[in-house]
Amino acid sequence: MARPIVQETSRTNGRYRLDGTDIPVAQIKKDHIAGADVKYAYQFIGLTEEECELIQTFPFPPTRDVNLRQIYISAVLECPCGEEQALYGSQESQSVVACICGRSWKIELSVAPTSQTAEADYLNRDLVEDVNGFNQEQSVGQG
């Protein structure tokens, strides 16, 4: 019999896990998508075939509002004038960057749902790493 998938805010930062373990089911699913033999890799928790199937079809119901936490940013703004402006450290989610030429640029860091599934986002390495199934998008707009 498969252990139920549970979620408690006080354990594993509220991530879904198999009851009786602290292993997030998202990690097991990512390992499976990457081609790992998860039944073997997670034999230390006694992962069963039935639990593997349960994890692969788990819908991950929402448990909180989407939030984008910025830890560190490293980027270079290439202005049309040929100058570059290094952006690093902790920036606000929206800031204005001025170039020596007088142009200014609004930098926005935002998150928005996409039409792709979380699994498709995870497999597409050209996208920024997903956060709880939502794709991060960084946009640069002219000011």
pLDDT band at 113 (very low <50, low <70, confident <90, very high): confident
Task: State the average pLDDT for the chain.
Answer: 79
Q: How far apart are CA 17 and CA 11, in angstroms?
A: 9
User: What's the one-letter identity of residue 31?
Assistant: D
* 61 against 125, higher pLDDT: 61
> 79-102 pLDDT, tens per residue?
888 888 888 776 566 678 888 888
The yes-or-no verdict on residue 132 having pLDDT over 80 is: no
pTM, 2 dp: 0.58
